[in-house]
Structure formats: structure tokens, C-alpha cells
Structure 1
Amino acid sequence: MQLFYSKSLDIESTSYTLPKDESKHVIRVLRKQPGDTIYLTNGKGYLFTAQVYDANPNKCKLSITSHTYQEPRDYKLHLAVAPTKLNDRFEWFLEKATEIGVTEITPLLCDHSERKVIKEERFLKILQSAMKQSLHYHLPALNPLTPFKDFITNAHSNTFIAHCEDDTKSLLKSELSPATDYTILIGPEGDFSTTEIQQALQKNIIPVSLGHSRLRTETAAIVACHSVAFINE
């Protein structure tokens, strides 16, 4: 099944017109004809079944015939991750975390951050593409780039910070339970600063280790994401 995305769809929708690029793909590449079936999601848990009724390659028109709802996962996972110097590595993380199961992502601006500007629109497109590819119907929320100190102000009880300093830490996997919401902070290539770690501890954020290996930022984020998803299998 090939899935298309439109945030404007809701349960009251009876028709939809695909944008020009998707219209060309549906008609010229997929060779859909009037009466053929198309599947769409609005990223809010709904799967819409539609039929082509006007096979225009510039403005393909669909008739919505039914919809179903996919319940969200039993847990929510919020990953706050410092963007990497190389954009493609952070984009890889966005794609894989969406496939594995993340609810919310906050790019984090830290003391040692090498990247201080992000392309939110491009990141959002990557999330949408990964959601469609993995046949999920819930689009992860993407927040603006947020300074570390601002982010930890509202930290809740199940918030963890994964850092590399030789302090007392427990393994993340030993702290996890099924059907529980978590927030996990992952630092930049140079790790969180000592000041940031102390600020986090003062907010009762729990320091954790992801294992014995020293991981790249994007790898650490995926390990954290998978650990939460695995405990909920």
C-alpha cells in the first residue's frame, strides 16, 4: 500500500485534490485510473480510503469513501536531541525514529552545539515521508530549536539525560517500564557541558547510560528510541 499525506483531511471530508507533484506521480507513475483506490492519512491517526474520479495529472481529484482510526501507542516518547553538524546525520535520525516510534522531537541548542540553525520545513517533510513509508498514521510533533536551559524548565518525572561523563548513572533500559511516557535528552557531538548536566540534575532529571560504547549523537538517539519501543513490544 502506498500512503499519501494531507493534514487538511478530517472525518467530514468527502473529496480531496492531490497537489500537482503527487497528481503526476499517481497518474503518470502509478498509472491510476478513475475508480482506482488511493490511501491517505492526516497524521492524526486516520487512514482514509479514496477513489480516483478525475485522473488529471496536474490536479487529480479523489472521492473519500471511508476512514478508520489507528489508536496511538501505549506510550509517548519525546526525544530532545542536539542537531548534528552534518545535516544528513540528523535527518537520518528523524527518519529512523519515526519508523521505530517517536511521538515528539525537539532539536536542542546546547553549549557545545556546532549547528545553531535548523531547517524546520525540510525536517517536517522527512517526518512525513518516513510516516508514509512505514505506514504509520500518527505524525510525530516537531518543535522549534530550543535552548537547553529553556527545555529543562518544564521537565517531568520521567525525563532522562544521556551523557558521557564518569558520574553515577544507571542503564536506560533498567529505568524503563511499559506503557509509560518518557522524555530523553541526547547531547551534541561534544556532549552536554558540565554546567548543563548539573542544571539537569537540579531539575531532578535522571542521568543514564546507553551502554559501554561511545555513540554518535544520532546513534545514541536511535538506541534510546529503540529501547523504549522494545520495552513496549
Structure 2
Amino acid sequence: MSSGGARFLGQLPLHGGWSLLHFSDPEPRRPLPPGQLAAVTTERGRLTRPVYQRGAGTLALLLEPPAHPDALADTAREDPVNLSYEPDGGFEVVPEPGPTLLLGVDSGLGAILDLARRLGEPPLLVIVGGHAGVPATPRPSRFLTPRLPPEAIAALPQLEEAGIVSRVALQEWRPGCFDEGPLALLRRYLAELADRERAALRLYAAAPESDLDADLPGLRASLADVQLVEVPREHR
């Protein structure tokens, strides 16, 4: 783990109680893998989330609701914080990964959105959602994906605008969203594929700790590769 002095630059509210936490980058020249976990430590506690975006000496972490972490409770704009990068805390992306699926659940969403921007070839599908919702208003996708349930038509706008196929899966009913959660939608999609199609797929997933434990053995047995970034569940 490496660490360094950083400054808290503010919190930007987003849709649905999500927010972006902005910090100065303690190591702006250091290359970071997609989904790199960053830990922010203050006297009040520790917050670990994937780096969502980076640029011009700053970085941002995407924070799910509730958007008031104890670690930053007494931290004002420009206050110093300790920011460290977790070892092995990101995805290893091969130069030509072949067909890929991306899965972002709750606190892991920032890692998957970072990865989706940085893949050389667009993934076949990005599934996002969970209990916390998503940080933008879902909208009907213009991309038809026949192997998905017909009711699952809602996409994340920023991925849709980038030409990336996505679907929003929540744990409750919302118009156009799959309402059994992201893992159930992943299972439904994979079940529609032939064995040889599944065997060629790479899955990149980011989720709260232990969320994928029951599914991992089967996924690793049937897919070409599975990479998982596990994010601490609590941020308070």
C-alpha cells in the first residue's frame, strides 16, 4: 500500500442520494488500474471506495447513499486527509480480452464505470444496480439485447451515450428496470448462452464484500476468466 497527503476538495450531490467525493491526487503520475481501491483516512475513520475518475491532479470516488460517511464528518473543503491505494485493488485487463461482461453492484459501481470507459473494445453488456439504486435516472435503451428479459429495458444514461450496452437491475420495481437485482439478471443472461459462448466470456465484477460468494465457483468454472474487486460494505 502506498499513501500520501491529499486534500478534500468537496462533495458533489448526484441523483438518488449518490455523490462524488473529490480529492487532490497524492500521486498524480502513478498509473492506476481500472477500479483501483483508494482508502481515505481521517481521525474519524476510514472510507474505501474505487477511484471513479482522475484528471489534472485530482481524483473522485463515487459514493452510494447514505452520502454522509463518518470518516469525513468533520472534514471541510481543503482539509488534509491521508489517501492510500490498496495493493491488488483493481482489475488486470489483458490487451485483447475478447467478449466481456461487466457487473457493478452498489458500492462497486464506480469501479465498473471506470473500467467501461477504459476498455479498448466495448463490453457486450454492463449490468449495474443493487439496493442503492444508480446515480442517474435510468432511461430506455436504444440497444436491443434479445437474451435479456423483455421487461429489462432501462439503461444508465452515461453508458448509453458512450455507445455501451447497459441494463439497470434493482431490488425493487422501477419502470424498465429488472427488479430481481443485478446478480439475478447476470444469471438470466448467461443461461441464454450456449456453453461455447459462455466459455469465451470474461467477467469483470465489483461488488460489496461477500455478495458474489455463492456465485463465484460456478462463474469461474463456466467462463474464460472472472475478476472481482470487493469493496468494503460499510462507509459509516
Q: TM-score, normalised by structure 2?
A: 0.32
Please identify which structure carries the higher helix content. Answer: 1
Q: TM-score, normalised by structure 1?
A: 0.32
Please identify which structure carries the higher strand content. Answer: 2
Structure (1 or 2) with the larger CA radius of gyration: 1
